A = this chain, B = another copy of it.
Amino acid sequence: MSELRIDDRLWSAKARNLSPYVPGEQPQHDNLCKLNTNENPFPPSPTVAAAISQVLADQADELRLYPAPESDDLRQALAQWYQLDSNQVFVGNGSDEVLALVFASFFMKERPVLTPDISYSFYPVYAQTFAVELVKIALAADFSVDPDSYRQPCSGIIIANPNAPTGILLALADIRKLVSEHPNAVIVIDEAYIDFAATDDNTAVSAITLINEFDNLLVTQTFSKSRSLAGLRVGMAFGNLSLIEALTRMKNSFNSYPLDKLAQAGARASVLDSDYFEQTCQTVINLRESLTAELTELGYQVLPSQANFVFARPKQGHASEVASKLREQGIIVRHFDKPRIEEYLRITVGTQAQHERLIAALRAMQAVDSVDISQ
């Protein structure tokens, strides 16, 4: 669509001033090595397709009826898995929709919302959509979050944990500090990638474990990453029932039925198959560690990731050039042309075969570069 033909005469000022989120591209070519949007390299639990097929076999006629508006069965399954009450659980059409409702429900206030300067690029978009003042707090030089730098008046804080695109995990003790130091602000921990995180001593990493302690903590998660269901659009939030009630009312003022009948059934089946979930997460974690080792061996500086991607800085050559050269070979990684991170590439953890293809391409690139330099 040519931009020249667009006439914004009838748009609202809000529509005119938007800078929409730009998702990583979804090219549809064969033999692509797609390591750019942090999808899971493994399929969802087979029970997901089975549960949806069951609905189609037994109740296809019931697609004529509206689905359960509050997705009760799915919320019940999530509550059971996380040892919460159903009224501490909210679900939406992907965690992106959940986050939009979070901004509207808790952040549309006079005081600003604090967030790391380097984080999920949808946060500034939501801030614009909902006229929320977003103040960016610089990450430390090693790209970690320093909780002490958040000691300022605010109506909320939103932190992705592990952070994206760095992959770095903020410890639970630091989250506890943030939540207790800001009793009158809503602290949102966006745990899209938390299921790939682990501590050395196997203690908890998810802030969900703090929910019964604090009424100002909201944790968001998604089925798109660890549960391999980006195609099904399901996200969730966990928090004190009063926070969940605000989200529910906001949802019912936008769109009463965000989750269709099949998505509810499929997501629920995924939650019930905990063995598959845990095995897949562990496999991705192992692959992340081997990818990190291989990139390090190639001279890349790789940040310590607890997510299903790594953030890596090439030894030689500009990151944007490396990304372009990989693209020529059908390998897609993500490069952000932004201050502080323009020399890094975000590479999604893929299968072993995808890693071999990536590493071979990078090695060949370095060999050519070495020849160039020696000439």
Contacts and interface: CB of A to CB of B under 8 A. Distances in A.
A178 to B, nearest CB: 15
A230 B64 CA distance: 5
A339 interface: no
A252 to B, nearest CB: 3
A64 B23 contact: no
Contacts of A266: 63
B8 A246 contact: yes
A371 interface: no
Given A232-B261, A262-B232, A262-B262, A252 B64 contact: no
Contact of A215 (B7, B13, B255, B261): B7
B64 A40 contact: yes
A229 B64 contact: yes
Contacts of A231: 62-67, 260-262
A56 interface: yes
B260 A228 contact: no
A184 B37 CA distance: 41
A319 B331 CA distance: 66
A309 to B, nearest CB: 14
A15 interface: yes
A125 B255 CA distance: 10
A171 interface: no
A65 B26 contact: yes
Interface residues of A, number: 93
Interface stretch (A47-55, A191-199, A294-302, A352-360): A47-55
Contacts of A44: 60-61, 63-64
Contacts of A254: 96-97, 100, 129
A153 interface: no
A54 B67 CA distance: 22
A21 B248 CA distance: 11
A336 interface: no
Interface stretch (A102-110, A159-167, A201-209, A322-330): A102-110
Interface in A243-272: 243, 245-246, 248-263, 266
Interface string A95-130: 011001000111111000000000000000110110
Contacts of A228: 63-64
Given A52-B262, A224-B66, A104 B15 contact: yes
Given A7-B215, A43-B60, A93 B48 contact: no
A56 B231 CA distance: 12
Interface centre among A8, A42, A185, A251 (most CB of B within 10 A): A8
A215 B10 CA distance: 9
Contacts of A42: 64
A117 to B, nearest CB: 21
A1 B245 contact: yes
A313 interface: no
20 contacts: A10-B186, A10-B243, A13-B109, A20-B249, A23-B256, A26-B66, A41-B64, A42-B64, A43-B64, A49-B63, A52-B56, A62-B231, A63-B231, A67-B230, A93-B93, A93-B255, A100-B254, A230-B257, A232-B262, A260-B262
Interface of A: 1, 5-15, 18-23, 26, 34, 37, 39-44, 46, 48-49, 52-53, 56, 60-69, 87, 93-94, 96-97, 100, 104-109, 125-126, 128-129, 184-186, 215-216, 224, 228-233, 241-243, 245-246, 248-263, 266
Question: Lowest 5 A-B CB distances belong to which pairs?
Answer: A20-B252, A43-B61, A231-B261, A64-B228, A63-B231
